[in-house]
Amino acid sequence: MAPTSEPTVFVVDDEEDIRDALRMLLASVKLKVETFGSAGEFLAAYDPARAGCMILDVRMPGMSGPELQEQLRANNISIPVIIITGHGDVPTAVRTMKAGAIDVLEKPFSDDLLLERVHQALQRDAALRTEQAERDKIAKRLARLTPREREVMGAIVQGKLNKVIAADLGLSTRTVEIHRARIMEKMQVRSVSNLVQMVLRVSGEGSEIST
Amino acid sequence: MTQNISNKTPQEVLRLVIEATTPATGEGFFNILMRKLTTSLGVRKAFVTECLDYPTTRVRTLAVWADGALVENKEFSLAGTPCEEVINGKKICFYPRDLGKHFPLELQYGWESYIGIPIVQPSTDKVMGHIAILNDKEMNDAILVESMFRIFAARAASELERLYTAEALQASEEKYRLLVEHQTDLLVKLDNKGRLVFVSPSYCALFGTSEAEVLGTQFLLSVHEEDHAAAREAWSALFQPPYSGRVRQRVKTIKGWRWLSWNAQAVLDDDNQVREIVATGRDITEQRQAEEVVRLVAEATAPVTGEEFFRSLMRRLASALNVRSAFITQCLDYPPTRVRILAYWRQGDFIEPREFNLRDTPCEIVVGQGKICYYPKEVAKHFPNDKGLVDLKSYIGVPIFESSGGKVIGHIAIFNDKEMDDELLVESIFRIFAARAGAELERLQAAQALRASEEKYRLLVENQTDLVVKLDSNGQLNFVSPSYCELFGQSEAQLLGTRFNPLLSDGGENQPVEAWQKLFRPPHSCRTENHVLTTQGWRWIAWAAKASLDSQQRVREIVAVGRDVTEQKRAEEQARHHMNELAHVSRLSAMGEMASALAHEINQPLASILTYAHATLRLLESGETGELRHAVKRVIKNTERAGDIVRHLRDFVRKGEPQRTLVKVSYLVREVVRLTAAEARQSGINVTLDLTNDLDPIHVDNIQLQQVLFNLLRNGMEAINAGNGDKRELLIRASQDGENCVEIAVSDSGPGIPPAIADRLFEPFVTSKPHGMGIGLSISRSIIDAHGGRIWATANADQGTTFHIKLPIRSDNDGANI
C-alpha cells in the first residue's frame, strides 16, 4: 500500500489520436502516461495502489466518463479526475464536478491549462495518499487496543474525567488510570489533545470509535 | 364423276381439309384448299375470291386451281356470271348441267356445271367472297356436293376471319379415327354364283347365325327396298372391269336396321372369269349419324352468330343425340367457379339463360379440370347436392378450350332422363359441337376486343391533337394524320415517302436508333421522346410506336402515335424544381438540427491537432525531436479528416441540379452512416450494417439518395429515442433482388408508427414527432419516385419499424430527369 511508485497519468478516451497526442504532450513534460481506449480497459488494468491522476473523456462507447468516475467513487478509489469533453454541456460538467472532478476541459483545450490541472491533480493525489498513510497508521494503533481500552478511550475523547469514567463503566478510578496510560502508550501520544486530534482524523471511516 | 364424288365421304373431306390446311395460313391456305377441292370433287376448276367493293361488282381471286395447276390470280367483274348470283344473292348456286344456257358468257369456256357458295363473315353477316367450282361434265348428288362444299366454305370463312378452328377440328378428327378403328369389319367370300364360302365371326354375330348354318347358302340379306337398285348395280359391276363395287345399304340385323358399307372385289381365274368374290362390310350407322351431324352443324350454324348461333347449336345437339337438355356456357372467372349459360335447350324449348355456381355439379369437373365428363347412368347419385340432376340419369359435358392457350373458356353439356350408351359416338358428335362452339365463342371474344380497340382508335383519331403516322419497314411515311401535317406545316404530299426521323435519326443520341431496333424484336413496340421544331416552336413530342407483322413474323408496317408533351414536361420540370428546393431546405434544416452533433464530429480532429501541435512545440523547445515526424503526420491526417467532414457537409447542403451517376450502394450507406455517426454515438444507438457484397451500382443522384437514407436513419434514431426500450439498435441492410432491383432497408427498435398516421406516412406535414415538420418522408418519396423506385414501411415482428426502398438498377425514368 505504500505510494512509493512514480505517479502516472491515466488517459481514457476512445479517440486514438486524442490518446496519442495527450501521451506525447504529457511525456514532453516528463510525466509517466498510460492510455486506455475505454473505461473497461482501464478498470481491467488499474491498480488503486498506484499514484497518479486520470484524464477522462465524457462520451465513449460502453461506459461513459462520468459513469466510470462514479464507479471508482463507489469503490472508494479517490484518484483525481480531469474531465475532457468534445462538447461541454452544463449538466455533465456540474455532475462531474460534484463527483469530485478537478476540472472539466472542453476540447480543444490549451496545453498549459491541461498541464496545470494535471499537476494539481497529482498534488492532490499525493496529499490524499499522505493523508491516507497517516490514517492507516492510526488505524493500526487503534487495532492494538482492547475493547475495554477502546471504551475508555471513547470516554476520554469526550473529555470525561477519570472519576466519571470509572463510575460510568463500574470500574475503580485506579483501573481507569491504568487503562489511560496503556491507551496513551499504544496510540503513541503524549497528551489527550493529541489523542483527540488523532481520533477525529479517522472518525470518518471507523464506526467503532463513535459512541 | 358422280362416282368420284361419292367416293369421298364427308369425313374424308373433313380430314382432307384439316390435313391440307392445318399448317398453312393466308395465300398458301387457299391454294391448298382449292387443290383439295378439285381433287376431292373430281372437277376441273376451283377458285376462291374476295370482294373488292360493296355492293359487290368486282372480286379478286385469292387462289385458282385449274386442271391440276395453280393459275395466276386476277380480278374480274361479276356481271353476267353465276358468281354474281352467289355473292349478291348471298346463297348457294348450283347448276349441275347446262350452265351455258343460263350464262351464255360461260359457254365460250365450255363449262357444263357450276356450284358457288358465299363466304359470309359471321359477325357482320356480310359476304366477304365466295368459292366456286366449274366442270365440263354434269354434276350429280347435289346434297352431298353441297354439304362438302359448305365445309370448304366454312373453313375458308374462318380463315378469312382468322379463327383458329384447326386445333379443335383436329380433336374431332381424332375421335373419328377411333370410331373407325373400333369397328369390326365383316368379311365374306362368295363363289361366282353368290354362295357363301366363308363368313367372319363378326358377320355371324351381326346376323345372329352360325357358320354352319350359312355356308353354301346364297348371300342374300334383307336389304331396305330403297337400296335394292344400288345393290343390283354393285353386283353386276363385279363381273366386268374393274371387277369391283361399293355399295351402301340399309340391312336388317339382329340390332335392327343398320347402314352397311360393302366393298367387294372379284378374284379372276386365268381366263379372266370371276372365280370368287371377297367382300368386306362395315357397319357405318354411327358414321352416317356423325356425317349427319357435320351436315347439321354446318347447315344450322353457317348463317348465324352470337346467341342465335348457340341456340341453334344446342337445339341441333339435343335432337342429334335425342336427349332432353343441352346447354352451353361461358366461364365468368378464372380459375372458373361460375359460368353463364349462353343457350339452354330443355324439353323442346329454350329456357332463360342464367349464371350458376359450379360447385358440386358435374360441370365443375368439366370446366375446372378441362376434361370430358361422362356419366351414362346414375349421375344424380354422384352429385347428391346438385338439385338440377334430380330425375336425370345421364350427363356428358365437354370443355371448350381457347384454341391458342388451352384455357377452358366454357363448356357444353347434355342431360337425359334415360341412360346413354355408345359413348364413342356421343362423344365424337359432342366434340364437333364443342369445336364449332369454341370457334364461335372465341370469335365473339375477339370481335368484342376488336370492337373495343377499334372504338379506342376511332376516338383517338377523331379527338386528336394526337399525331398518327404509319411507316413502312424502311421507316418511310405512308400515312400522316392531318394533325401531324398541321404541326409541322407540311402537306401530306410533301411528307409521304420521307423518312420519319423521330424513330430513325440518331441525331447524336443513341435513343432513337435503339427505339427503331426495338420494333424489330418482340414485343415490337417502343416509346421515345423528341424535341422538335414545329410551327409552334420547339416542342416535346412523345411517340409510342407498334409494328404489325405479316404471317412470317416480319415487320409489315409501323403505326406511331405522337403526343405533344411539352406542357406536361414543363409541369414535371416545375414539380421537380419544387421538389429540389424543398429537398434542399429540408437538408439545411436537418443539418441545423444536427449542428451540435456535427460540431462534436469536427471537434475531435481539431482537439487532436491542437494537442499534437502543443506537444510538438514543447518537444522542439526541449530538443527531444524523436517523435516530431509522427506528430506532424498525425496533424496532417486529422486536418484532412476535419476537411472531409466539412466538404461532406457542404455537399450535402449544396443546392444544385440533380445529377445521376453510377453509385455503389455500399458507398451511399456508409457516407450517410458517417454523417449520422455523431448523433448515433450521442444517443447511444448501435448502428449495424448488413450489406450484401457485389451489389450492382445504381444510377441515381448521389446527394438525393443520401438525403433519403439520412432521413430514414434520423427518423429511426428519433424513434428509438422516443421509446423507452432498452434495445437501441438501428440496422441497415442492402440486398439485390434479381438483376433488376436493389433494396435498402432501415430497421429501428423504436415504438413503431402510430396507427393514426400509418397510412398517411408519406404525405407532407404528417408526423409523429413533437418538433417534426413532416416533410422528410414526403420528400423522400418524391425523390424515390423520381428515380422510378418505391418506398414503404413495415412493422417489425418484435418491435419498431422498417423502412424499405426499392430502386431499379437501370431506371427507365433516366430520360425524364435530364
State whether A17 and B634 contact (CB < 8 Å).
yes
What the block records as the C-alpha cell of B810 is 437501370
Q: Provide the number of CB pairs (under 8 Å) joining chain A to chain B.
A: 74
Residue B467, SS3 per DSSP: strand
Q: Which pLDDT value is given to residue B537?
A: 81
Task: Please state the length of chain A.
Answer: 211
CB contact under 8 A, A108 and B603: yes
CB atoms inside a 10 Å sphere around CB B542: 17
d(CA B611, nearest CA chain A) in Å: 5
Contacts of A34 (CB under 8 A, 6+ apart): A8, A9, A10, A11, A45
The whole-number pLDDT of residue B173 equals 44
B640 — contact with chain A (CB < 8 Å)? no
A96–chain B nearest CA distance, Å: 18
Assess A67–B contact: CB distance below 8 Å, yes or no: no
What separation in angstroms does the CA of B34 have from each of B37, B45, B64, B122?
Answer: 5, 8, 7, 22
Q: Which of B599, B606, B614 sits opposite A111 (nearest CB)?
A: B614
- Beta bridge partner(s), residue B279: B188, B264
Cis peptide before A3, with omega less than 30 degrees from 0?
no
Question: Is A91 touching B (CB cutoff 8 A)?
Answer: no
Q: What is the 3-state secondary structure (H, E, C) of B260-300?
A: EEEEEEEEECCCCCEEEEEEEEEECHHHHHHHHHHHHHHHH
Chain A residue nearest residue B610, CA to CA: A108
DSSP B499: B
Q: Which long-range contacts (CB under 8 A, 24 or more apart) does B299-304 make?
A: B299/B147, B299/B150, B301/B436, B301/B440, B302/B120, B302/B150, B302/B153, B302/B154, B303/B120, B303/B125, B304/B122
Residues 6+ apart with CB under 8 A from B158: B165, B439
pLDDT in tens, B413-448: 888 888 776 666 666 667 667 777 777 776 666 655
Distance CA B32, CA A65 (A): 97
Crossing angle between the packed helical segments B665-675 and B702-722, to the nearest 10 degrees: 50
pLDDT of B633 reads 92
Residue with cell 343460263: B102
Chain B interface includes A108 (CB < 8 A): yes
Half-sphere exposure of residue B449, counting CA atoms within 13 Å on the CB side?
A: 6
- Which residues neighbour A112 within 8 Å (Cβ) at sequence distance 6 or greater? none
- Strand B477-480 and strand B69-71: the pairing is unpaired
CA A56 – CA A85 distance, rounded (Å)? 8
Residue A196 has pLDDT above 70, yes or no: yes
The pLDDT tens digits of the residues spanning B712-727 come to 998 888 888 888 777 8
pTM of the model: 0.41
Sort B696 into a burial class: Cβ within 10 Å, 0-12 / 13-18 / 19+: middle
- In chain B, the residue whose alpha carbon lies closest to the alpha carbon of A86 is B600
**pLDDT score recorded for residue B449:** 58
- Residue B542 identity: A
Beta-carbon separation of B599 and A18 below 8 A: no
Q: Which of B599, B611, B682 sits opposite A18 (nearest CB)?
A: B611
CB B444 within 8 A of CB B307: no
CA distance B164 to B402: 9
The predicted pLDDT at position A125 comes to: 93
Which chain B residue has the Cα nearest residue A23?
B615
The alpha carbon of residue A17 is apart from the nearest alpha carbon of chain B, in Å, by 6
Q: Which of B607, B610, B634 sits opposite A86 (nearest CB)?
A: B607
Q: Does B682 touch chain A (CB under 8 A)?
A: yes
Name which of A17, A86, A110 is nearest B638 (Cβ-Cβ): A17
Rounded average pLDDT over A6-35:
93
One-letter amino acid for residue B6 of the chain: S
State the nearest Cα–Cα gap between A87 and chain B, in angstroms.
Answer: 6
A14 in B contact zone (CB under 8 Å): no
Contact B590, B672 (CB under 8 A): no
Q: Are B615 and A28 in contact (CB under 8 A)?
A: yes
Interface check for B631 against chain A (CB to CB < 8 A): the answer is: yes
Please check whether residue B612 touches A, CB under 8 A: yes
- C-alpha distance from B619 to closest chain A C-alpha (Å): 6
Residue of A nearest to B632 (CA): A21
Candidates B252, B314, B310, B313; CA nearest to B285 is B252
Q: How far apart are CA B770 and CA B748, in angstroms?
A: 18
What distance in Å separates residue A152's CA from the closest CA in chain B?
A: 56
Cell output for B256: 335392327
Residue B619, all three cell numbers: 518537444
Residues 574-603 of B with CB under 8 A from A: 596, 599-600, 603
Which residues touch B266 (CB under 8 Å, ≥6 apart)? Answer: B238, B239, B243, B244, B274, B275, B276, B277
| Low pLDDT (below 70) residues in chain B | 1-29, 106-107, 122-124, 141-145, 147-148, 151-152, 154-185, 286-306, 403-406, 421-429, 431-432, 442-465, 503-512, 656, 763-775, 810-818
In degrees, rounded to 5, the angle at the alpha carbon of residue B653 between the alpha carbons of residues B649 and B655 is 140
CB-based contacts of B311: which residues, under 8 Å, 6+ apart? B343, B345, B350
Q: Closest approach of chain B CAs to the CA of A112, in angstroms?
A: 9
Q: Is A169 on the interface with B (CB under 8 A)?
A: no
Give the residue among B533, B529, B561 at the shortest CA–CA distance from B542.
Answer: B529
Check CB contact under 8 Å for B606 and A24: no
Q: Is pLDDT of A39 > 90? A: yes
Distance, in Å, from the CA atom of B207 to the CA atom of B86, rounded to the nearest integer, reads 49
Contact B611 A28 (CB under 8 A): no
Test B631 with A29 for CB contact under 8 angstroms. Answer: no
Q: Which three cell numbers stand for residue B168?
A: 379443335
The SS3 of residue B363 is: helix
Between CA B47 and CA B31 the distance in angstroms is 9
Residues of A in contact with B611 (CB under 8 A): 18, 21-22, 24-25, 108-109, 111
Shortest Cα distance, chain B CAs vs residue A22, angstroms: 6
Query: What are the distances in angstroms from CA B282 to CA A44, B186, B454?
Result: 108, 6, 54
**Residue of chain B minimizing CA distance to A24:** B615
A145 in Cβ contact with A153 (< 8 Å): yes
CB contact under 8 A, B603 and A22: no
Pairing between β-strand A32-36 and β-strand A8-12 as defined by DSSP bridges: parallel
Report the gap between the CA of A15 and the closest CA in chain B (Å).
8
| Amino acid B371: pLDDT | 81
Please identify which residue in the block is written with the cell numbers 427498435. Answer: B749
- Chain B contact for A39, CB < 8 A? no
Query: Could you tell me which chain B residue has the CA closest to the CA of A107?
Result: B607
Walk across the sheet containing B741-748 and list its strands.
B686-691, B729-737, B741-748, B801-808, B790-795
Residue A3 has pLDDT above 70, yes or no: no
Give the closest-approach CA distance of B572 to chain A in angstroms: 45
CA distances in angstroms from B428 to A123, B39, B628, listed in the order given: 114, 27, 103
Instruction: Give long-range contacts, CB 8 A cutoff, 24+ apart: B338-347.
Output: B339/B363, B339/B367, B339/B410, B339/B411, B342/B307, B342/B310, B342/B410, B342/B441, B343/B307, B343/B310, B343/B311, B343/B313, B343/B314, B344/B314, B345/B311, B345/B314, B345/B315, B345/B317, B345/B318
Give the model's pLDDT for residue B631.
92
C-alpha separations of A122 from A125, A128, A155, B401, B752 in Å: 5, 10, 39, 97, 51
Q: Can you tell me which residue has the cell 372391269? A: B241
pLDDT of residue B745: 93
- Residue A62 touches partner B, C-beta closer than 8 Å: no
Closest CA to B119 of B168, B81, B158: B158
Chain A contact present for B611, CB below 8 A: yes
In this complex, the residue of B606, B614, B637 whose CB is nearest that of residue A25 is B614
B contact residues 239-298, partner A, Cβ 8 Å cutoff? none
Q: Does A15 touch chain B (CB under 8 A)?
A: yes
Distance from CA of A35 to the nearest CA of B (A): 15
| Residue in chain A lying closest to B628 (CA) | A24
First to last CA, chain B: 78
Q: Is B622 exposed, middle or buried (0-12, 13-18, 19+ CB in 10 A)?
A: exposed
Q: Do B603 and A21 touch (CB under 8 A)?
A: no
Q: Which residue in A15, A22, A25 is closest to B618 by CB distance?
A: A25
Is residue B609 within 8 angstroms of chain A, CB to CB?
A: yes
Which among A18, A27, A28 is the nearest to B608, CB-wise?
A18
A110 chain-B contacts, CB cut-off 8 A: 614
Q: Minimal Cα distance from A108: which residue of B? A: B607
Is residue A32 over pLDDT 90?
yes
